[in-house]
Amino acid sequence: MNHFDYIIIGGGCAGLSLAYQLNKSTLKNKKVLIIDKEKKNKNDRTWCFWTDESTAFDHIVYRSWKTIEFLSDDFTLHAPLKNFTYKMIRGIDFYQEALSEISQNTNFQLVNDDVIELKEVNGKVSIKTHNQTYTADWAFESRFDNSRFFPEMPQNHYLTQHFKGWIVETQANVFDTNKIRMFDFRTEQKQEVRFFYVLPFSDKEALVEYTLFSKHLIAQEEYDQNLKEYLSNHLKISNYHIKEVEFGTIPMTDYKFQRKLGDRIMSIGVGGGRAKPSTGYAFLRIQQDSSKIVKSLEQKGQPFYKEDTGKQFEIYDAMILNIMNRKGESIKEIFTALFKNNPIERILLFLNEKTNFFSDILIMSSVPPLPFLKSIRNIFLSRSLIK
C-alpha cells in the first residue's frame, strides 16, 4: 500500500522537525512518509538561536554561550545574558537525533527519491517520484523554490542572506569560549550589509563566518579573501587549519508566502514563511510551527491553524528590508545605535517578536529616524501603486 496519512516532502530542518513532533504526539500511530532526494549523513549546516526557554533539542546543543559581543568601527559591546542563552545545533547532530527517533516507529518510513509531481486528486494528495507514486490525506511541502523570487519584486522586498564560514583550528589558544561575536561590522560595506560572525568551540577552534545581506551573491574567491583578511587583521591569527567549510543562502523577504498550496497541501519551513524576514533566523520559528501544526491535527484533524504574528513586526521587517534594499551600508550605523542604546535582552526580545508596544517605541527611538521615515514612504508608495 502506497497510501499514507501524512507525507512530508523534504527531510531537512522543517520536514524532520514535523516528523519528530508527530512521533512524540498522539498521532504517532499514523502512517507517515518522508521523501528526501538525499541522505542526511553530512554536517552541511548549523542552526543558531537564542531563547529563555527549553527546547526539544537542548540535549543535542553543540555549544552555548552567555555573552554576546558586538563590534563596529567606534563601538564595542560585551553583553552578558541574564535570561537568554545563545545556542548552536550542528546539522549532523539534528539529523541523527531526528532520524534515530523516527526509525524506531514502524509507522514512519523514509525514502530517498526526488519528487517530480505534487497534486490533489479526488480529495487526496498524489505525489509522483522518479521511482514510485504515493497518495496521502495530507502533504507537507518543505522545499523552497528560489526561482519564484527576484530582487526587483514590485510590491515586496527580496534579498539574499549568503554566508561562507570556515571552522578553523589554531595551534595557540586564541578564542574566548565564553562569548560569541554576533556582529563585527569592521569591514567595507560596499553599499550592502556585510559583517563577520565568530562562534568559538574551544580555545583553539571556532567557526568564523563572513555574512552578507544583498541582492546578488559574490564570487567564492571574494568570500575567501575577506575571511583570510579578517583572520589576519582582526583576530590576529596567521597559523590555522581549515577543518570544515560552510556555505549557505537564506531568503530575506516580506513576501507573503502561501501556506495553503491546496486543500490538503501545506507549505512549511522557509517556503512557508518561517524564516524571519529581516534576520533569516528560522530554527525556533520552525519548531513553534511544527508544534502548532501537530496540535491542530490532534484537535481539528487538519493542519491549518490561525497565525497570530503581530502586524507591527511585519511592518518593522518591511522597513528594515527597504533600507537594506536601497542603502544597505546604513544598516551598520543603525545596528550600532541599536546595540549601543538598548539592553541586550530588549534587543533579543524584539528580534524574537516578543516585545510590547512600549518596548518597541524605545527600540525605534534609539536608532537614526531618517532611514525609517524614507522606508515608510517608499513602502506606502509602492503598495499604493500596485493597488
CA distance 213 to 234: 21
Q: Do 35 and 103 fall into the same domain?
A: yes
**pLDDT over 60 at 151, yes or no:** no
pLDDT of residue 387: 45
pLDDT of residue 370: 85
CA distance 82 to 42: 34
Q: Do 277 and 335 fall into the same domain?
A: no
pLDDT of residue 161: 95
The domain that contains 190 carries what CATH number? 3.30.9.10
Task: For residue 2, report the phi and psi dihedrals to the nearest 5 degrees.
Answer: -110, 25
CA distance 80 to 341: 15
pLDDT of residue 153: 62
For residues 338 and 146, the model is more confident at: 338
pLDDT by residue (tens digit) across 157-216? 889 999 999 999 999 999 999 999 999 999 999 999 999 999 999 999 999 999 999 999
Nearest to 35 by CA among 125, 140, 154: 140
**Percent of the chain having pLDDT more than 70?**
95
pLDDT of residue 261: 94
Q: Is 80 within a domain?
A: no
Q: Is 77 within a domain?
A: no
User: What is the average per-residue pLDDT within 13-27?
Assistant: 98
pLDDT of residue 372: 85
Q: Do 175 and 220 fall into the same domain?
A: yes
The domain that contains 32 carries what CATH number? 3.50.50.60
Q: Do 201 and 217 fall into the same domain?
A: yes
Q: Do 175 and 107 fall into the same domain?
A: no
What is the span of the domain harbouring residue 337? 311-386
- Looking at residue 140, its amino acid is F
Which three three-digit cell numbers place residue 384? 499604493
Q: Do 267 and 353 fall into the same domain?
A: no
Q: Do 288 and 182 fall into the same domain?
A: no
CA distance 43 to 45: 6
pLDDT of residue 371: 82
Residue whose cell numbers read 579578517: 230
**pLDDT over 70 at 148, yes or no:** no
Q: Is 12 within a domain?
A: yes
Q: Is 90 within a domain?
A: yes
Nearest to 34 by CA among 17, 12, 9, 52: 9
- Looking at residue 50, its amino acid is W
Q: Is 305 within a domain?
A: no
Q: Which of 300, 334, 362 is the last residue of a domain?
A: 300
Q: Do 115 and 55 fall into the same domain?
A: yes
Average pLDDT, the chain: 93
264 DSSP 8-state letter: T
User: What is the average per-residue pLDDT within 260-269?
Assistant: 96
Q: Is 186 within a domain?
A: yes
Q: Do 103 and 35 fall into the same domain?
A: yes
Q: How far apart are the first and last CA of the chain?
A: 49
Q: What is the domain count for the chain?
A: 3
Q: Is 318 within a domain?
A: yes
Q: Is 73 within a domain?
A: no
Task: For residue 234, report the phi and psi dihedrals to the nearest 5 degrees.
Answer: -105, -40
Angle between helices 331-341 and 311-327 (to 10 degrees): 130
Q: Do 107 and 51 fall into the same domain?
A: yes
Helix (H) or strand (E) holding 383: helix 369-386
**pLDDT over 70 at 381, yes or no:** no
For residues 44 and 102, the model is more confident at: 102
- pLDDT category of residue 152 using cuts at 50, 70 and 90: low
Q: Do 227 and 266 fall into the same domain?
A: no
Q: Do 283 and 135 fall into the same domain?
A: yes
- pLDDT category of residue 256 using cuts at 50, 70 and 90: confident
